[in-house]
Structure 1
């Protein structure tokens, strides 16, 4: 299995509902380092799985939709605890909408790093 990973970052604000979140129930910010890993079993005729520049550009565009935003104010997140896992799924689904028609790609994993010691990921087929 081949993979191509690109990295970017995003800065958001949000709050959570539920006692399990303790002080994070209050509005707070998060800066995520975001990795998007595309997978597939074969390379194309150019000897690549996916153009890295294209993958990086698409990730940047997806993240721009929420960068410097309070997710609590965004309609598509209403009623959702925007946990790291949930935001990873949101990013993955948007990337799949943009690149999922590529016949070489069979899977995608998006990892959001909250810090150098904690991260969460969402993996889906393409």
Structure 2
């Protein structure tokens, strides 16, 4: 399996519900380093997994919808804990939607999976892996 990873970051504000979160139940900020890994079994006709420039731009666009925002104010997240794990899935799903819409170019049709990792710090991170359905 071949893979390419691109990296960006985002800063958000949010709060959590539930005693397990302790002081994070209060509104607080979080800065995440975000890695998006694209996978495929065989390289495309150009000998690549995905166009790194397009992947970088698309990751930036997805993060731009979340960056510098209070996620508690986003109706899409109403009643949900926007945990690191949850946000990794949101970003992976939004990237997958863009792959299927053609935003990554025709060569991305052969991608088989995406993994998104959000690094909360140098000692803690969470990931979400998802398959991509074949383009058709």
Q: Normalising by the residue count of structure 2, what TM-score does the alignment of the two structures yield?
A: 0.91
The 4+ residue runs of structure 1 with deviation greater than 2 A are 100-103
Higher mean C-alpha deviation, range 98-107 or range 10-19: 98-107
SS in 1 for 2:16: coil
Distance in structure 2 (CA, Å) of the matches to 1:46 and 1:39? 15
Aligned 8 A contact 2:99 2:109 in 1 = no
Distance in structure 2 (CA, Å) of the matches to 1:32 and 1:108? 18
- Residue in 2 that maps onto 1:117: 123
**For residues 12-27 of structure 1, what are the structure 2 equivalents within 5 Å?**
12-27=12-27
- Residue in 2 that maps onto 1:106: 112
The runs of 5 or more residues in structure 1 that have no matched partner are: none
Aligned residue pairs total 126
Distance in structure 2 (CA, Å) of the matches to 1:124 and 1:17? 27
- Residue in 2 that maps onto 1:29: 29
- Residue in 1 that maps onto 2:105: none
User: Is residue 75 of structure 1 aligned with residue 75 of structure 2?
Assistant: yes
The runs of 5 or more residues in structure 2 that have no matched partner are: 103-107
Offset of residue 103 of structure 1: 2.4
